[in-house]
Structures are given as structure tokens and as C-alpha cells.
Amino acid sequence: MDSYGVQMKKKRKLNSKEDIEELKSLRNETIAIKQDTLHTIDNLQFQSSELNKQLSKLDEAISYLQGTGNISLKEETLKKTITKERKSYNNFSAEIIYKICSYLEVREDIISCLFVNKAWGCEAMKVLYNDIISPPDEFFWRISILNENQEKINKENESYEMDNTSITKVLNNKNNSNQDDNVIHPNEDYLKKWRPQITIKSISFDEQLNFEHFSLMASSPLFSSLVQLEFIDVEDIPATFIDVLNHCNKLKNLRIHNCTFQIPSLLVLQAISQLKQLTDLEFDYVMVDAGEEEYYNAWSKIFKNCKFLKNVILQCCRCIPTTLPLFNSVCKNLRKLEMKHTEVNMSAYIPAISEYCPNLVHLSFNSDGMTDDLVFQLVQGCTKIKNLDLLSCSIITDKALFTIAQHLENLQEIRLDRCHNLTEEGFNVLVQSCPNLRTIYLGDNQEIITDRIICNLCKCCPLLHTVDISNCNAISDRGICNLARNCKNLRTLDLSGLDGITKKSLWWIKEYHYNSLEKLSIGGCVLLTDDETVNILKYFKNLNYLSASLDTTNNPSVIEYLSLQSQDFNYIPYRIIV
């Protein structure tokens, strides 16, 4: 056989193999189509059986209604129109309704949305009532009207028989022939959907306050579910404040900032002690009108009755005992305690805090009375502290840092500003024992903080995101370079008053943190020029806070840079405070 015949024979064999494979694939596809068809038939049979069940139920309902004859054609058409209207209002999602309400500028329009249905009412309440800051007189006027209308509706509902499944028909007596025969009154479920109950969760008052509104707050049920209440810079708060606190028994967050009262401070503290659901208390009431033991008993009652207290801020507070501690019982839930700028005896407070606050996480004291022995006593009892503020505690030495490093391994934030008796050895031991540090304040320590301390800090604490080394004149470009290289999570950096840094420091910060740095303070750095600073600052993408000594009136590059920033950008001119 010649070569041509052999080639044709091989080709025919090859074609036959390809045909067989193609036929097998077609067979498999046919089997798959058959299985899908059988599955579809089963689904259709199941759906048809379910539809037959529903039809049988509907037939039973129709026969029952035709037998009873309680529903007329007119009422059926009326119900159909009502359900259509209600469905048309409910077509929008909650997000769309909230956006619509938030775009309304006129208060009356937002209030009208409260009475559309339940969905519209809930979203309108979020826009209008859930977060109220400095409410005007119009707000309380509206609340009084709503309160009166709600009481009228409650009285009307008591006179009607409520049906949970349908809108009941109230038939008039045969003697009253002049009235309409078919009067539809809303039942309880219908009322909740079309006129939702309004509750106010949060309200804040500033210095402009009409005290006549206190009587409304103390009586209206709309304020009974109040969770957060704030008074900021309000003078001569009246005695009805006590009635407000007694009425708002669900209050969890109370803030009284820079306020004065027409009543003794002891009465205010007694009213606060009755808020058993209270979790957050900020109280910086200044006026003192009682004795040491009276304040001690009042505060002890607050911490005893308010067992859910977690955060207590007593900044610049004078109506607290100075020689007697605030606590005489265990406060297991207390997590945060700030007592900045309070004239208290540290030797009396620290032992009580160590004994009665074992779960404390955040502690802040600004007092010269803190000693090494008190620090040792504190950290022995409060081993869970993560945020420790020792600002202006100028008496403590390296011994206190050794104690902190030994007992507070989970420390995440520490303030050591103006602690002038510390040395390099204490700082090195601290940072080596606390690798979880994220925030550290070392400002105003002059020649104590050096480049070597900064280098050791960067190597031992790579999670740092906030660093304050302002007015530490011993730091140079070398320390800032190590800080920028090793701390990859930097978001806030304060370099104010550093005389030894140049544009090289800014260049290294830009090189590693142009996309992450959010706050930067470089005011008082005399070796930085305006043009060099602006040319480097242009590369920062997410910077929203800048404190610097820039010429914002005569330098065109500075003016152009600030004009190109977004509205969220805050520029604070640096001022030297003597």
C-alpha cells in the first residue's frame, strides 16, 4: 500500500474517534436536559398543589363571609383603597425615606412626615427628634401639641373595641338616622402604623434656655424615654431640674458642663443618685455650698446606687470632697475616671481607687501630689489600666516608670508631659516593657527627651499612631527620621517648638506617611521656612489639621495652599504661650 493510502486510513480512524466522542457528549447533554425537565415538572406539581390549598382556603373564607354577611360591598371597596394607599406609601426603603426627610429644610415639612405611616414616622424622628441640640421654643410648642393630641387619641381608643385582624365597623344606632351608616374607626394596630408614637432620646441645652420648658419636660411622656441629657454653659438652672431628672428615670448619659444652679449642689447630687440606669456622668459644677462630709456622703450614694456607672468625668469640679475619697464601696463597672484640675488629696484618693475600682481602664490625674509610692499602690490594685494620664506630675521619678512597666504590660496610652524628674533610663525601661503603646505624650520635657529615646521608642513600640514631643529641644532630624521610618501607623504628630529640625524631617514624614497622617503640628520650628513647608505639605493627602507659623497674609504660596484645602481642613495659627 502506498503512503497516500496509509495516510487516508489513519485519517478515517481519527475522524471515527472524534465522531464517537461527539456523540458521547451529546448523549450526556441529553441526559442532563432530561433530569432538569423532570426536576421542573416536580416543582410545577408542588406549586400547583400549594395553589390548590390556597384556593381551597379562599373558597372556605368566601363561603364563610357570604354566610355571615357582615361585610358590605362598600366597606370592601373602602378597605381596598386604604390598602392601596398604604402600600404606595411603603414602597420606599428606609434609607430613601431618611434622605428625603434630611433634605427637607422647613421644620413643618419634617413634622408632617411623622404622620404618614410608621416607616416615615421612624425616619422623620431620626432626623428631627433623636439628636436635638439647642432646641428652640418652637420645638417645645410642637411637643406640647403632640402631647395633647396623643392624650386625645388614647382616650378615643379606650372607647372603641379593638380588633387585631381588620378595621372594625362601628354601626350607629337606628335612632341616629342623620349620621352616616358606615363609619370606619382605626384600631390600635392601624393607629401605630399611621401615627407612630414619638419618643425623644437625646437633647442638649446651651446658654440660651427658656426655663418654662422644664415643666413640660417634667410632665410630658415624650421625655420619659430620654437617654442623653446635656447642659452646656447654662446659668441659674431652676429647681424644676430635679423634677426633670425624676421624670427621666431611664437616663444613661448626663453631662453638666460649666453651669450654675438656683438650688444647692447637694440637691442636684441627690437627684443624680436616683438615676439607677446612669452609665456616663460628666459633672464640672464649680460652686461650693456644703461641707466635706456632706459631699462625701452624696458622692458615695451616687456610686452605690448607680451601679452601672462606667465613665465619670469630674474636670474642674469643686463640689467634691478633697480629703475624703469619692468611694466607700466596690465599683466593678467603673472603667473611666478623669479628675483633671481638681484640688484633692492624692494620698486619700489613690488607696480608695486601688481598692474599690479593680476594673479601671482609663485614669487621669493632673496633680503635683502624685508620688512614686502612690503610683506603686495604684498599679497594684488597678492592673487593667490601659490609659494613664500623669500630666504635670513633676514629683515622680524613674521609680514610678519602673513600677508602671512591671504591672501595666497592656498599657496603650500614657501622658508624661512636664514630668521633669525622669531620665533616659526610665523611658527605655517603660517602652521596652509596654510594646502595645499606641499614644504617648512627652511634651515640655526640654532636654530630657533625646534622639536616643525616640529611636528606642520606635523600635519597641511599632504600633504608635499618636506622638507628642513638642518643646523637646534635644531632638534633631535624626530622631524624626527614625520615628517616620519605624512607626508606620502615624496619624497624629506634634513637633511644635523643636528648634533643631529642618525640612529633612518633613521630607521623611512625607516619604513614609503622606497617605496616613491626619494631624500635624509644626509651629515654632524656627528652621522651617514657609515655602519649604508648603511645598512638602502639598503631598499629604489626608491631612485635616495643621498647626503652624505660616504667613497667611503676605505669602502667596501659603494663601494658595490653604485655599485649595477642603472645608474639613482646620488650620490653627501657632501661638507661643508664656
506, amino acid identity = L
Q: Is 218 exposed, middle or buried (0-12, 13-18, 19+ CB in 10 A)?
A: middle
> pLDDT (tens digit, 9 = 90+) per residue, 327-353?
778 888 899 999 888 888 888 899 999
Superfamily assignment of 438-578 in CATH? Ribonuclease Inhibitor (3.80.10.10)
Give the span between the Cα atoms of 479 and 347, in whole angstroms: 38
Give the span between the Cα atoms of 578 and 244, in whole angstroms: 45
pLDDT value of position 158: 52
Give the span between the Cα atoms of 496 and 572, in whole angstroms: 12
3-state per-residue secondary structure call for 134-151: CCCHHHHHHHHHHHHHHH
Neighbours of 373 (CB within 10 A): 14
Contact in structure between 297 and 321 (CB atoms under 8 Å): no
Q: Are strands 280-283 and 253-257 parallel, antiparallel or unpaired?
A: parallel
One-character DSSP codes across 273-331: HT-TT--EEEE------S-HHHHHHHHHHHHHH-TT--EEE-TT--SS-SSS-S-SS--
224, amino acid identity = S
C-alpha cell at 184: 370606619
Closest C-alpha among 289, 348, 337 to residue 313: 337
Does the pTM of the predicted model rise above 0.85?
Answer: no
Give the span between the Cα atoms of 391 and 389, in whole angstroms: 6
Give the span between the Cα atoms of 560 and 569, in whole angstroms: 14
344, amino acid identity = V
409, amino acid identity = E
- Domain spans, the chain: 438-578
Q: Half-sphere exposure (CA, 13 Å, Cβ side) for 123?
A: 19
**Greatest CA separation for the chain:** 127
Output the CA–CA distances (angstroms, integers) from residue 250 to 197, 242, 274, in the order listed: 17, 14, 10
Kindly report the CA angle at 216 between 210 and 218, in degrees rounded to 5? 110
One-character DSSP codes across 12-56: HHHHHHHHHHHHHHHHHHHHHHHHHHHHHHHHHHHHHHHHHHHHH
* CB neighbour burial string for 35-65, b if at least 16 within 10 angstroms, e if fewer: eeeeeeeeeeeeeeeeeeeeeeeeeeeeeee
Closest C-alpha among 492, 501, 491, 429 to residue 471: 501
Give the span between the Cα atoms of 387 and 512, in whole angstroms: 27
Phi then psi for residue 186, to 5 deg, are -70, 140
Cα of first residue to Cα of last residue in the chain, in angstroms, is 114
C-alpha cell at 57: 382556603
Q: Is 573 exposed, middle or buried (0-12, 13-18, 19+ CB in 10 A)?
A: exposed
pLDDT value of position 385: 95
pLDDT in 10s for each residue of the chain, 578 residues: 455 454 445 545 555 666 677 777 777 777 777 777 776 777 677 767 777 776 776 676 666 555 544 444 444 554 555 454 444 555 677 777 877 877 776 666 777 777 777 777 777 776 765 544 445 555 555 555 555 555 555 555 554 444 444 333 333 443 444 444 433 343 444 434 444 455 677 787 776 666 666 667 777 776 777 888 888 888 888 888 888 888 888 899 999 988 888 888 889 999 999 999 999 999 887 677 888 889 999 999 999 899 899 999 988 888 888 888 887 788 888 999 998 888 888 888 999 999 999 999 999 987 778 899 999 999 999 999 999 999 888 899 999 999 999 999 899 999 999 898 999 999 999 999 999 999 999 999 888 999 999 999 999 998 999 999 999 989 999 999 999 999 989 999 999 999 889 999 999 999 999 899 999 999 989 899 999 999 999 999 889 999 998 888 888 999 888 888 877 788 888 754 43
Neighbours of 515 (CB within 10 A): 9
Kindly give, in sequence order, each residue whose CB lies less than 8 Å from that of residue 110, ignoring residues fewer than 6 positions away: 101, 104, 124, 127, 128
Contact in structure between 490 and 514 (CB atoms under 8 Å): no
Give the span between the Cα atoms of 309 and 253, in whole angstroms: 10
191, amino acid identity = L
Q: At what angle do helices 292-305 and 265-273 cross, to 10 degrees?
A: 20
Find residue 183's DSSP bridge partners: 170
C-alpha cell at 404: 508602671
168, amino acid identity = T
Neighbours of 324 (CB within 10 A): 20
